[in-house]
């Protein structure tokens, strides 16, 4: 239960900050969204080496810890796309990708320096972080592919529904933003679960664990991408009077 409480608190804080800044300080909205987007992506990747069992009510899944917060990276991408358009959404993906590549170099840099703590602590640190370059590279490849697909789907649905969606029609906002968010994020998460798991864990874990991670990644990320939709709806309602860009 504590996991879901912290998960909900994190998404609520992020959603409130994003919507408030966009409405009150519109010029700062885009850089803040990029910072949060890159922070979520990097945090999820740092947590990837830790494999967990997650009970989602109807089944228990084996997946990485980072998968718990990964679906909300797609939501922040949707927020950027919703307000600032698909070109700036593309740019945010490139910036987040560059930050992840920098992190890989920092890991190697840190590992190349002699430590002064015990050998047991050093072994733990190396065992946790040295697999990260492969994981981060796998994540980066999956991230680039799936985020660009997500942006394209979301932008097309946003443009298509714009003729019916009015800031004065709350019901229309809820329906149409739900359709584009769920549709684009589900495709994103399913593709990411497949591409990332195969690239990151093939020949690195037993086959049965690989299959469990593959199933867990697809179902878990897809499930979380659906249940975090209310936060995107709250964001869309909060910025309903803000002018949106489409290019």
pLDDT digits (tens, 9 = 90+) for 118-165: 888 988 888 888 776 777 788 788 989 999 999 999 999 999 998 888
What global pTM score does this model have?
A: 0.89
The answer to whether residue 144 sits within a structural domain is yes
Nearest residue to 227 (alpha-carbon basis) of 181, 193, 188: 181
The answer to whether residue 167 sits within a structural domain is yes
What total of structural domains would you count in the chain? 1
The predicted pLDDT at position 132 comes to 65
Give the E-state strand segments of the chain in sequence order.
Answer: 51-55, 60-64
Q: In terms of residue numbers, what domain contains 198?
A: 2-238
53 beta partners? 62
The answer to whether residue 18 sits within a structural domain is yes
Q: How far is CA 205 from CA 1, 132, 199, 209, 211, in A?
A: 29, 14, 12, 6, 10
The answer to whether residue 246 sits within a structural domain is no
Residue percentage of the chain with pLDDT more than 90: 43
User: Coil, helix or strand for 62?
Assistant: strand
Nearby residues of 28 by Cβ (< 8 Å), 6 or more positions away: 21
Residue 241 is encoded by which pair of tokens?
Answer: 């009077």
Residue 59 is encoded by which pair of tokens?
Answer: 């089944």
The answer to whether residue 247 sits within a structural domain is no
60 beta partners? 55
Q: Please report which confidence band the pLDDT of residue 29 belongs to, taking 50, 70 and 90 as the band edges.
A: very high
The answer to whether residue 8 sits within a structural domain is yes
The answer to whether residue 83 sits within a structural domain is yes
- The C-alpha atoms of residue 41 and residue 30 are separated, in whole angstroms, by 16
- The residue-averaged pLDDT of 188-214 equals 88
The answer to whether residue 244 sits within a structural domain is no
Residue 93 is encoded by which pair of tokens?
Answer: 């993906």
Higher-pLDDT residue of 222 and 167 is 222
The predicted pLDDT at position 204 comes to 80
Output the domain CATH number for residue 184: 1.10.1760
């Amino acid at each position: 239960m504590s996991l879901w409480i912290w998960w909900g608190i994190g998404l609520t804080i992020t959603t409130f900050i994003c919507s408030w800044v966009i409405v009150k300080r519109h010029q700062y909205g885009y850089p803040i969204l990029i910072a949060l987007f890159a922070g979520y992506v990097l945090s999820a990747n740092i947590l990837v080496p830790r494999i967990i069992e997650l009970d989602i009510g109807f089944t228990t899944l084996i997946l990485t810890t980072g998968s718990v917060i990964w679906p909300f990276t797609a939501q922040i991408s949707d927020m950027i796309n919703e307000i600032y358009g698909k070109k700036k959404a593309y740019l945010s993906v490139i910036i987040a990708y560059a930050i992840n590549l920098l992190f890989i170099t920092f890991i190697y840099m840190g590992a190349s320096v002699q430590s002064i703590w015990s050998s047991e602590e050093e072994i733990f640190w190396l065992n946790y972080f040295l697999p990260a370059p492969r994981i981060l590279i796998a994540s980066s490849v999956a991230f680039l592919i799936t985020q660009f697909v997500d942006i394209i789907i979301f932008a097309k649905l946003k443009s298509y529904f714009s003729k019916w969606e009015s800031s004065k029609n709350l019901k229309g906002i809820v329906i149409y933003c739900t359709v584009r968010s769920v549709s684009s994020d589900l495709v994103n998460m399913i593709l990411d679960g497949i591409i990332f798991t195969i690239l990151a864990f093939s020949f690195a874990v037993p086959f049965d664990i690989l299959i469990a991670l593959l199933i867990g990644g697809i179902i878990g990320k897809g499930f979380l991408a659906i249940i975090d939709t209310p936060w995107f709806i709250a964001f869309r309602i909060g910025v309903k009077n803000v002018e949106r860009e489409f290019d």
